[in-house]
Amino acid sequence: MIKPVLVCPFNRKLMDKIKNTQFIITVTGFDDIHEVIKSVHRTNELLGIKIHTEKTLSSIDFDKNWEKFPLFIYAENFGEFLELFPKTEIIRNLNVHFFLSAHNEFNFTGLKILASLRIHCGLWFDKLPVSWDLMNDLMHYAIYSKPKHAHIEPFKWLAEHYAVNGYSNYDAVYFNDPIKFLHINSNEQVAFTADDLLNNKFIAEGAENIDSIQNLQEYKDLSHSRYESMLKMDDCSFCSAFRICLGKFGYLKDKKTTCQPFFADLHDACDYHLSGKKTKENILWQ
Amino acid sequence: MAVVIFKAIEKCNSNCIYCDVIKKHQDKVMDYELLKLIFIRMNEYLTDHPGEEITFTWHGGEVCLLGAEYFRVAYKLQEDYCPETKNRINHLVQSNLTLINQEIIDAFLSLGIKQIGSSFEPIHHIRGYGKNRDSELYNRKFIDGVKLLARNNMTWGVIYVVHRLSLKMPLEIFYYLTNLNASSHPNFNQIKMYGEDRHNLAISGEEFADFLGAIFPVWYHHRERYPNIQPFADIWRNTFENNMSMMCESSGQCTYRWVYVGPEGETSQCGRAGDYGILKYGNLKNFTFQEIMNSKLRKPLALRQKYLSENECKNCRFWGICHGGCPLDAFMIHNDFMKVSSKCDTTKRFIEKYFEPVTGFKVDFPYLN
């Protein structure tokens, strides 16, 4: 069993206490980045820093000294292209992934611009997507478009990790797949997801108990949690794309004109991507 | 390979609307003495046939009602009475999974059972407990059983019985079942009614074909996603891969391969024959497996293949994947084995109306006898 990565806020005391662990550190300010890097205990491995910012993407002052560390920047808005354009050279030299809210219409254009500039990026779903048509359009660009462009998540992740006879949880893109990531707060309370942590749904308390979480039946049953969804016999359990969505938009009332057609198209795109991979393997002259 | 459909128990904890077991009100359980004899008989047969294997299918009723101890005893009997042949006995289980527990799973594993065949129904009050068929509780227990199997790295698959209510929602049922288990896909079977159809659930062969036809285009375009949906996968392989493996009822090869063993040692052709009470081959207390497998009473089934291919099915391009269908079904309808079953209508309609237009291929299966 692979040890899960810990997603935690920047807290020196906590990070000193936990050893031999891979971390994703969440911060809210860019000033914290250097502090985080300095503070990670030598037995631990920093996989990335996740930053939620209220700034627009274009207004961020990028620092070339961030270049060694994977940064995952979540912003509400793309901002102004003219403001971002002069910064593209420095951004390309950083190991940075931008995530823009699916709630803002211009972000969909912004993501295409970023991807075409070979900057890895993606959508994040803090609120309902502003438009399922825009989602579909972006997904088609991400998976089918021939001109070279950078990854757009979560589409690229799903296409790459798609299990044709299994289930795929694209929440891994957001460090929120509990099989791979656990979330801990400064009070050393541990939860399966970021939402669970916010809603006080803890599975363990105390940094010293982290290693034993994998022995909990609750943890072992995570990979079978979809069965509970099936028991609800709701629209999601009868949906053609459940295997790649896992009911993430189950709260929507009218799924037949919103998430279901979108995810059905995404499912087809995953098949297309998979068939492309197979073809590449088979054709020697390529 | 000989296939034994073994019903040590016919009692069931559920009250599924289409099931014959409940109507029979059978409470019989095979005793350990007789169970011992079964293993002795299997050992005799396998010793006499060194190249043979037996697929021993634990069927019911609900096999988990037997309890873990029963399977532990079976394991002990196999160890004691089949020391040289036990590796050629492959145990399979058919269970509704609602009573399975860790003790039973441990006993199954000792018998080498790593996968379980089951059934599931997303439409409420078809499968369930009690007079009103409490499907909510039933489904809860089923899912608990499935989770327990997963914890033990055991696999499972379902047969879905297509009935009149299913006809309204073929794709929904298809998606539900493939979502429920993405790695092992369902087998769609037409409902078999025993006696009076009090709930108006029976469907014709044509209606069953239309049910399959509603799903087939989706399966065809996404067959890598859903590789083993039956009967599609078999028809596909038989058409394009020349791989003639088929369900028993279509194979035309069931005559000398199958045997049903009931709780009192009584035998007949197969599980369906046991349910119908026809083609009885005698009791294992009085006959060996060899005698039962070669019973002269099986002869009409062997003759049927030749007879149909020269008469009713002569020059039929679907012969190779149909073989006249299940002889027992034909007998129950016509009181005559030398007739085709209702599957004939299903096969023809499905292939002509759905399979060929969707795939663009014209099928031809006349060659296999």
Those residues of chain B whose CB sits closer than 8 Å to some CB in chain A are 122, 139-140, 143, 146-147, 150-151, 171-172, 175-176, 178-180, 182-183, 218, 222, 224-225, 227
- Confidence tier at A167 by pLDDT (50, 70, 90): very high
A245 contacts on B by Cβ (under 8 Å): none
> Do A104 and A19 reside in the same domain of the chain?
yes
Indicate whether A153 and A251 sit together in one domain. Answer: no
Spatial CA neighbour of A163 closest among A243, A226, A222, A238:
A243
* DSSP states along B139-180: HHHHHHHHHHHHHTT-EEEEEEEE-GGGGG-HHHHHHHHHHH
CA gap A79, A77 in Å, rounded: 6
Distance between CA atoms of B355 and B233, rounded to whole angstroms?
Answer: 12
**Terminal Cα-to-Cα distance of chain A (whole angstroms):** 38
A183, part of any domain: no
Supply the pTM of this predicted model.
0.92
CA nearest neighbour of A154 among A36, A89, A249: A249
**Hey, are the CB atoms on A238 and B172 less than 8 Å from each other?**
yes
| Cα A143 → chain centroid | 17
Question: Is the domain of A19 the same as that of A134?
Answer: yes
Name the β-bridge partners of B129. Answer: B134
Cβ-Cβ contacts under 8 Å, A166 against chain B: 182-183
> What pLDDT shows up at residue B74?
98
Domain boundary among A155, A171, A187: A171
**Residue A220 dihedral angles phi and psi, to the nearest 5°:** -60, -30
pLDDT in tens, chain B (369 residues): 899 999 999 899 999 988 876 666 678 899 999 999 999 999 999 999 999 999 999 998 899 999 999 999 999 999 999 999 999 999 999 999 999 999 999 999 999 999 999 999 999 999 999 989 999 999 999 999 999 999 999 999 999 999 999 999 999 999 999 999 988 889 999 998 777 888 899 999 999 999 999 999 999 999 989 988 999 998 888 887 766 667 787 888 888 889 999 999 999 999 888 888 889 999 999 999 999 999 999 998 889 989 999 999 998 988 888 888 899 889 888 899 999 988 888 999 999 999 999 999 888 876 544
Chain Cα centroid distance, residue B299: 22
Residue in B139, B150, B178 closest to A224 by CB: B150
- The reply to whether A235 and A166 lie within a common domain is no
Q: Give the pLDDT score at B369.
A: 44
Helix, strand, coil % over all residues of chain B, rounded to 5: 45, 15, 40
In a domain, A263, yes or no: yes
Supply the Cα-derived Rg of chain A in whole angstroms: 20
- Residue A11 sits in the same domain as residue A144: yes
A95 Cβ partners below 8 Å, 6+ apart? A66, A67, A68, A69, A70, A71
Is residue A162 domain-shared with residue A258, that is, in the same domain? no
> In what side-by-side order are the strands of the sheet with B115-119?
B187-190, B155-162, B115-119, B89-94, B54-58, B2-6, B258-261, B266-268, B280-283
Instruction: Report if residue A199 sits inside a domain.
Output: no
Whether A238 and chain B come into contact, CB under 8 Å, resolves to: yes
Residues of B in contact with A220 (CB under 8 A): 151
Asked if A227 is an interface residue toward chain B (Cβ–Cβ < 8 A), one would say: yes
The answer on A276 and A143 residing in a single domain is no
Tell me: do A237 and A167 sit in the same domain: no
The residue range of the domain holding A252 is 231-281
Helix (H, G, I), strand (E, B) or coil at B331: helix
Helix (H) or strand (E) holding B196: none
Report how far Cα B207 is from the mean position of its chain's Cα atoms.
Answer: 21
Q: Quick check: helix, strand or coil at residue A45?
A: strand
Q: A129, A155, A171: which is the final residue of a domain?
A: A171
Based on the fold, state whether residues A249 and A160 are members of the same structural domain.
no
Q: Which one of A148, A171, A194 terminates a domain?
A: A171
| A177-206 tens-digit pLDDT | 999 999 999 999 999 999 999 999 999 998
Closest Cα to residue A142, out of A130, A151, A131, A132?
A: A151
Please indicate, yes or no, whether residues A235 and A165 belong to a single structural domain of this protein.
no
* Dist CA B276 CA B24 (whole Å): 11
Residues A120, A244, single domain; the answer is no
**Are the beta carbons of B369 and B305 closer than 8 angstroms?**
yes
pLDDT value for A286 = 43
Specify whether A129 is located in the same domain as A267: no
Question: A137 in a domain, yes or no?
Answer: yes
pLDDT digits (tens, 9 = 90+) for B149-197: 999 999 999 999 999 999 999 999 999 999 999 888 899 999 987 778 8
- Domain annotation covers residue A181: no
pLDDT for A279 equals 57
Could you say which of B143, B224, B227 has the minimum Cβ distance to residue A271? Answer: B224
Quick one: closest CA in B to A217, which residue?
B151
Q: How many domains does chain A have?
A: 2
Does residue A245 form part of some domain? Answer: yes
Is A179 within a domain? no
Q: Does A274 touch chain B (CB under 8 A)?
A: yes
The pair of three-digit structure tokens given for residue B157, joined into one six-digit string: 């698959």
Q: For the segment B80-110, what is each residue's pLDDT rounded down to a tens digit? A: 999 999 999 999 999 999 999 999 999 999 9
In a domain, A69, yes or no: yes
